Amino acid sequence: MQSDFMQWYNALDKPSWTPSSDVIGTIWTILYPIIIGVNIYVWVKFTRKELSFMVLLPFIVNLAANIAFTPIQFGLRSLVGAMLCILVVWGSIVWCMAAVWPHNRTVALLFVPYLLWVSLASILQISITLRN
């Protein structure tokens, strides 16, 4: 039996190329350890005063927006809110990569898969929002 929010989501008009829930879950299962590892690295470097707050700030924004997306999309069922939120996630990923690049290029490049996935997810969310 599907939950109420999944019934709502499944009833939305979505493009034919929308990934299945299983694919989405698998991708996030791969990405979250990378995101967590990069965030821990940045946090530890910040606490050791090896990175400034200005390098940490985009990671805080990204984490907050990433966490906020699901309650906005599925709790509030706000497609416009979710679209705006995912654009903040996307922009903050770019900001994170740019902020950490001068300090550790490998860490910045670890966010490339996250950026690619959120780029696709952003296009999907915009499409869903415009269709509904």
pLDDT digits (tens, 9 = 90+) for 19-67: 998 999 999 999 999 999 999 999 999 999 999 999 999 999 999 999 9
pTM: 0.94
Per-residue pLDDT band at 2 (split at 50, 70, 90): low
Nearest-angstrom CA–CA distance, 27 and 24: 5
**Burial bucket for residue 130 (CB in 10 Å: 0-12, 13-18, 19+):** exposed
Nearest-angstrom CA–CA distance, 129 and 122: 10
Q: Where are the domains of the chain?
A: 23-131
